[in-house]
Amino acid sequence: MRYRIISLFVVFVLCLPFKTWAASVPVLISEVQTGSATSASQEFVELYNPTDQDVSLNSWTVEYKPATSGSWAKRATLSGTIKSHGFYLVAPKTYLSQADADWSSGLSGTGGHVRLVDSDKTVMDLVGYGETANAAETAPAAAPPAGQSIERLAGRLIEDGGNAVDTDDNSKDFVIRTTPQPQSTSSALEVPAASNDVPDADKPVDDPSPTPVTYLPLQLSELLVNPASPLTDAKDEFIEIYNPNQQPVSLAGYTLRTGSSFHDYYVLGEVNISPNDYYTVYSSDSHLSLTNSGGAAQLLDPTGVVVSQSDAYEAAPEGQSWALIDGTWQWTLQTTPDRPNVLVKPVVDVASVSTTASGTTKKASSTTSAKTTTAPTSKSTTTKVAAAKTSKPSTTKTVSSAVAAATESKTGRWLLIGALVITIGYGIYEFRYDLQNFYYLGKRKFGLGRTDRPRS
């Protein structure tokens, strides 16, 4: 009886339609651009096949739904095959001629949904973007700015490692890519974790446990967030990395992250940092943006572990660096790419107190100069301090004179008012009879002070 049940189960499984098997084969949406920097209709949707087998896309569709309302609408019908670890590009062919399928544009730049549906009407993947997207997987990804895209993370956070991270949470699986990279069936294949496929000759073949990899600690040491003119944000912003170890460290596979929720990222290449040395990554190469209004930066090792993170900064002063000095992140006027950080803070010098012609005191304008905490006090600074001490008595005397002048001016005003009151009083006394005659004449003429009585 037991063998009969097993036989029936095997027959049932073998008789299942092939499409039931195919539905379990994932093809993922790997990158989406909702518009270029020049046109909102220049869009694309990129697909990636992370499996070890080719997948036929005949009669598959790519569909779109607005962020908060509306129904799904077909925007492209696919055909052909997506290779194992290969890409497939859906885009208006008037925009990207290498596209594998034509696309009817109309994606909203602020929020929406894109999904991939197979020929059996099974939803293979779905991406929601923008804060208002109400049908995303768990939480929506950030909406890409014009000219940028959202891209699914690579399996090992490396540039050529495929886009295979799928946790069913769009907010975690996708990041902003500042320079979009649309890839089609003609693009190179990307095999995730290909570097781990080479067996270790010193390890027994039957040992399934991987060799642990230890990455030496590195530190973020300086951020130039708001370069002063003529430097520009697009070219001259930088992130500096420091190697505190006693041996060189390769940066291959390390990742820098910036932006809101650290969505923007840049994967470093084959660069070695010598012991106790620095390496500076400029925005002209990484295309990372450090927001002037506030933010932070992260450094991740090739396994995706955060090994260093800067303290968060607020509004960035122009021309100053956010630097790690004596274990504390702080602003400094001295930018030092590829060199040890130096704390140079702005200081305010009060020039002097002067007296105006009206007798009021007025503080002179403050001037800002740089003060380096590590530099010794110079002769000119000592002279300035001595001069300030020497001028202190004269300043006190000037203020006393101003107060005395103000007091004398106040007394004079009261004397003037008193003299005016006495003059008016003397005039009334001198002409009192004339004023009395005027009063009686007016009383008789106009009836001033008279009360009309009824006649008897």
pLDDT digits (tens, 9 = 90+) for 176-189: 888 899 999 999 99
Which among 336, 218, 335 has a CA at the least distance from the CA of 275? Answer: 218
The alpha carbon dihedral of 272, 274, 275, 281 has a sign of: negative
Contact predicate 88/46, CB 8 Å: yes
Mean pLDDT throughout 433-445? Answer: 68
Q: Which of 327, 298, 332, 293 is nearest to 313 (CA)?
A: 293
Q: How many CB atoms lie within 10 A of CB 105?
A: 18
Confidence of residue 25 (pLDDT cuts 50, 70, 90): low
443 pLDDT above the threshold of 80: no
Contact 73, 64 (CB under 8 A): yes
If you search the block for the tokens 């840049």, which residue do you land on? 266
Q: Is residue 110 predicted with pLDDT exceeding 50? A: yes
DSSP H helical ranges for 190-330? 233-236, 283-286
If one compares 229 and 10, the residue with the highest pLDDT of the two is 229
Asked whether the predicted pLDDT for residue 352 surpasses 70, the reply is no
The whole-number pLDDT of residue 347 equals: 76
Say what the pLDDT of residue 10 is.
41
pLDDT band of 442, cuts 50, 70, 90 = low
Max mean pLDDT among 170-174, 393-397, 419-423, 426-430 falls in 170-174
What confidence score (pLDDT) does residue 213 get?
65
Flag whether pLDDT at 312 surpasses 90: yes
pLDDT reported for residue 447: 57
Contact between 44 and 103 (Cβ < 8 Å): yes
pLDDT-derived band at 204 (thresholds 50, 70, 90) equals very low
- Residue range 231-280, pLDDT digits in tens: 999 999 999 999 999 999 999 888 898 976 787 888 888 899 999 999 99
Q: What is the DSSP string of 133-165?
A: -SSSSSSPBPPPPTT-EEEEPPTTS-TTS-S--
The pLDDT value given to residue 400: 44
- The answer, yes or no, to whether residue 393 has pLDDT greater than 50, is no
Structure confidence at residue 149 (pLDDT): 92
Q: What pLDDT shows up at residue 215? A: 84
Instruction: Name the β-bridge partners of 299.
Output: 256, 308
The stretch 83-96 carries a mean pLDDT of: 95
pLDDT digits (tens, 9 = 90+) for 358-367: 444 333 333 4
- The dihedral through the CA atoms of 389, 393, 394, 400 has a sign that is positive
Highest mean pLDDT among 22-26, 188-192, 199-203: 188-192
pLDDT digits (tens, 9 = 90+) for 116-158: 999 999 999 999 999 999 999 999 999 998 888 999 988 645 5
